[in-house]
Amino acid sequence: MELETFQKNQTLAMRKKFIGQSCRLFYSDDPVKIVKARGQYLYDENDMQYLDCISNVQHVGHCHPSVTQAAAAQMEQLNANTRFLHDNIVQYASRLAATLPEKLCVFYFVNSGSEANDLALRLAHQYTQHEDVIVLDHAYHGHLMSLIDISPYKFRKLSGQKDWVHVAPLPDTYRGLYREDHPDPAQAYADTVKDLIDQVHLKGRKVSAFFAESLPSVGGQIILPSGYSTKVAEYVRSAGGVFVADEVQTGFGRVGSHFWAFQMEGGVFCPDIVTMGKPMGNGHPLACVVTTEEIAAAFTANGVEYFNTFGGNPVSCAIGLAVLDVIEKEDLRGNSTRVGGHLKQLLAQLQTKHPSIGDVRGVGLFVGLELVTDRELRTPATEAAAQVVQRLKLQRICASTDGPWENVVKFKPPMCFSMKDAELVAHHIHLILTDMETNADKRDK
């Protein structure tokens, strides 16, 4: 049956009728109806092209032909329950293992980042036989109830903080507790985690896990100070807990220099559990948890089978393998380094011209532009950031905001983002901020 095509106003009316209103749209006052996409570009019902700066799920580019062909070919041949033996799942696990430290070698395939993080919690609890979890302030780890419980970004708006959840300060060296002028912010922030561990022990409890994004995203595109994760892992492991790295937003080469963002820590640092999701399937629901043999053995020892109907099915794994091939063949990590570096440099140049730009930070194609009303006080410019996003939309550039005050314009585009795209974005941000500042001056006079 051929699907009926609706006018934009019809689609919007039907969405309001049938879809939960808590499922929000971008640009809610005037949503964009997207009917097709390719690479880093989206097209609306009038065939107008939009530059996509935010779809980090479509990691190697929207509708990449190598990925769609792999999906179709496997779908025509077989898609079966994962209790049947099949090559794709073991080949995919082997390919992923080659990108990770040797001790991370046992894989559990699931369908979403939320599923992956929920399973990571179960693994940590089973292995340590403890319950308490330490998380970073403003963190978001998924939409399941178990994850809302460990996501300050969510639980502060809902049920509140559970007594087994402990919140460490976000290691934000721009506006956090310890800033860029601190002699050793990594140690200072890590010590706040140690203090929490001590407080947990004083209550007669034990820590199960420290759970953190390798680069906090909802927190405002934060780059952790070098050495922080290594020191935190030392404290957590000494207390009998495990270190969980959430790579759902940042894995698969987005940082450019490394395949996984936690590898930026350097040295011999290795998490005990890594979760991955969004970019794995280039839009297809595919996610994973990888851990050590010791933790996996403890999970098996509980006597309860772990079964996921769709996790690791032949089609999903064929898609995952195709995504890895594209990353390698098209040198998308190299592109991320080059283009992301260029974008960051262009935005840094704008910072010298616009007092409303408080900070430019990021690595690879994970970049944040923080807007302020006062550089000295670093007052968040929430309204200005929203206005920049809306005015970029008028130029057919899709961007969005993040951070505790929604004043960070974030860039996590498909990895095929180009130098020309970066220059176009910077050019329009310059024009928009210039106009906003000019109008502000006129109002002040």
pLDDT in tens, 126-146: 999 999 999 999 999 999 999
pLDDT of residue 394: 97
pLDDT in tens, 31-42: 999 999 999 999
Domains of the chain and any CATH numbers: 8-60+331-444 (3.90.1150.10), 65-329 (3.40.640.10)
Average model confidence (pLDDT) across the chain: 95
| pLDDT above 80: residue 442 | no
Judge contact between 282 and 116, C-beta under 8 A. no
Instruction: Quote the distance between the C-alpha of residue 421 and its chain's center.
Output: 21
Give yes or no for residue 444 having a pLDDT over 70: no
Query: What was the pLDDT predicted at 331?
Result: 98
DSSP string, 275-322: EE-GGGGBTB--EEEEE-HHHHHHHHTTS-----SSTT-HHHHHHHHH
Beta bridge partners of 408: 370, 402
In angstroms, what is the C-alpha Rg of the chain?
A: 22
Look at the alpha carbons of 144, 146, 147, 153 in this order and tell me if their dihedral is positive or negative.
positive
Report pLDDT for 2: 67
Q: What are the respective helix, strand and coil percentages of the chain, to the nearest 5?
A: 40, 20, 40
Model confidence, pTM: 0.96
Please give the average per-residue pLDDT across 78-97, as a whole number. Answer: 95
What stretch of H or E contains 426? helix 419-444
3-state secondary structure of 57: coil
pLDDT at 127: 97
